[in-house]
Structure 1
């Protein structure tokens, strides 16, 4: 039996947008790098929602989603640049 005398209103809910942002950001690492932009944006919105209505948890989750989303986009851009450079070197050196 749980003790509800210390917190009579019940557990504080976690912002669902923060959780969705984290899921989107992590999946963007493995499937589609540009989806990290969506994860970052959702994380930003979740942080704003949490600040606007304080009885919510998830600020750290939203921050993690923003960081992971940006890392995913950065890795995707780096991969595209590397592939473009390799293709350029192959095209120039393939005479």
Structure 2
């Protein structure tokens, strides 16, 4: 991965089907660096100056409580920076409760 992009993964990148079987249709290994699931995120990112976006990602294992998520959201808002806040299942996280609708997109 680091040969292609200046990123490092944190946490398991093993598909759920082989790790904990919670997501039966998750059978793909690795990160989709060449085939993004949607390009809406890339289009948005391409409009932003380099490096001006804070990326925060919670995978399938992270358990973040409401108070922690509220603190994180307040910090991101107060930073006045563009940000991407990603969770394994945004509908089950606290994102809808803490972020104004204009900051929220659930695909």
Task: Identify, as 1 or 2, the structure richer in strand.
Answer: 2
TM norm structure 2: 0.28
Greater RCO, 1 or 2 (C-alpha within 8 Å, sep 6+): 1
TM norm structure 1: 0.31
**Higher Cα Rg, which structure:** 1
Task: Identify, as 1 or 2, the structure richer in helix.
Answer: 1
